[in-house]
Amino acid sequence: MEMEKYVKNILNDIKLRGMDAVSEYSVKFDGYGTPFRVPESEIVEAKNLIPEYQKSIIEKTYRRIYENHSIQYSNDKMRFFRGSIYGIRYTPIERIGMYIPGKKPLPSTVMMIGIPAKIAGVKDIVITSAPESNGKVNPYTLYIADILGIREVYRLGGIQAIGSMAYGIGMKRVDKIFGPGNSYVNEAKRQVYGVTGIDGLYGPSEVLVISDGTGNNEYIMADLNSQLEHGITSKAWLLTTGKVPSTGENGRIEVMAFKNMDELISKANEIAPEHMEIQASNPMEIFSRIKNAGAIYIGEYAPVPAGDYFLGVNHLLPTGGTSRFSSALTVDEFMKKTSFASVSREDFMKDRELGMELAKIEGMPLHYKSMEVRS
């Protein structure tokens, strides 16, 4: 409750005092005030700060992520019936904001949000990212912004970045905010939801490995430990029907032993982790029975870190058990779905009694009249 009130007070102050408040909080939290907008020349020149070999790596990774996300693009869907057309139209969101945690390079996150946005056809993309100690946005963030054709980047982090994007302080307001952040950023996103859209609320990183004892324990332990590298609140589970391997000195890995795979799968679905690996002799059979996971990595050559970086699957995933009802970031998250109907007289007149009777049942006489008056 204290955090909720703390964030609310800052957001209210930003709404009330605008750029003065944004500047004060930026100086307080990030040591940097106005100007916030990064000059276009600085975005374009960022490539000169990146080693050639790393630029090649980033460009190859970009292509892999693009190829794997391009299959997600949804076309309009239509049904033709009695001279009528019914369907769903997909339209890209006009303007989105990307929140990229600052002060360290996160090129993978910029690509994971920016690439599906471009595939969806989003016209305007804004990036906010807290500056480094030199007062500049990380050059890797700027380099990928340049590749994506993004020219609107701001030296802004934290609650003040979320407030600026949501309320249109110092920039045109955005229609939806994407990106991970700390608990304060998460709370700010939660509070501005309704004023603007959000992609989700991302908590500490999680990994769950399913094992039947036939997998390579060295690989399994490396994968479990990799996600704990994100921070002290990250979680790692090993669920196994085989011999319980040693976790060494890492007491943060929770190991659960099961008599059979049915019980194990039931528990895995109950936990509903962000990342899941299946290291077993029959991985596809187990995969077919998993209902709840943000992303599933099958076999010993699909470690979670590879998914985080180069496999091309998105790494913005539901955490904290929310994969029970939410999904990985996809191209669809950057699009709106609009139902439409173009109805022939024949179709309407043949079945209008359905609507008229329902209007009577619900006590809506003007709804009834709207359908009755047509001839």
Do 60 and 35 share a structural domain? yes
- Unique residue bearing structure tokens 């916030």: 36
Last residue in a domain, options 198, 222, 248? 198
**Do residues 78 and 87 lie in contact, with contact meaning Cβ atoms separated by under 8 Å?**
yes
Q: Could you tell me the two tokens for 286?
A: 């187990």
Q: Is residue 339 part of a domain?
A: no
Taking only the tens place, the pLDDT of each residue in 248-276 is: 656 789 999 999 999 999 999 999 999 99
Confidence class for position 103, pLDDT limits 50, 70, 90: confident
Q: What is the pTM of this model?
A: 0.92
Q: Is 246 a residue whose pLDDT tops 80? A: no
For the segment 278-285, the average pLDDT, to the nearest whole number, is 96
Q: Which residues of 220-236 are buried (b: 16+ CB within 10 A; e: fewer)?
A: bbebbbbbbeeeeebbb
Confidence class for position 1, pLDDT limits 50, 70, 90: low
**What is the DSSP code (8-state) at residue 243?**
P
Do 118 and 210 share a structural domain? no
pLDDT at res. 163: 98
Count up the domains in the chain and report the number: 3
Q: Is residue 69 part of a domain?
A: yes
pLDDT at res. 263: 97
| Residue-level length of the chain | 375
Do 160 and 25 share a structural domain? yes
CATH number at residue 28: 3.40.50.1980
CA atoms within 13 A on the CB side of 308: 15
pLDDT at res. 146: 97
Q: Is 361 a residue whose pLDDT tops 90? A: yes
| Residues labelled as active-site residues | 274-275
pLDDT at res. 249: 59
Do 297 and 210 share a structural domain? yes
Do 356 and 274 share a structural domain? no
Do 309 and 286 share a structural domain? yes
Expressed as residue numbers, the domain containing 66 is 2-198
Q: Is residue 335 part of a domain?
A: no
Last residue in a domain, options 180, 198, 216? 198
Q: Is residue 336 part of a domain?
A: no
- Report the percentage of the chain scoring pLDDT > 90: 92
Do 166 and 117 share a structural domain? yes
Distance CA 109, CA 120 (A): 17
Do 230 and 192 share a structural domain? no
CA distances from residue 71 to 65, 91, 118 in whole angstroms, order as listed:
11, 17, 13
Last residue in a domain, options 181, 198, 215? 198
Do 159 and 67 share a structural domain? yes
Do 320 and 187 share a structural domain? no
Give DSSP secondary structure letters for 317-347.
---TTGGGT-----GGGGEEEEEEEE--HHH
Confidence class for position 303, pLDDT limits 50, 70, 90: very high
CA angle 369, 372, 375 (to 5 degrees): 135
Do 10 and 141 share a structural domain? yes
Q: Is residue 332 part of a domain?
A: no
Do 357 and 279 share a structural domain? no
For the segment 287-302, the average pLDDT, to the nearest whole number, is 97
Q: Is residue 333 part of a domain?
A: no
Taking only the tens place, the pLDDT of each residue in 180-197 is: 999 999 999 999 999 999
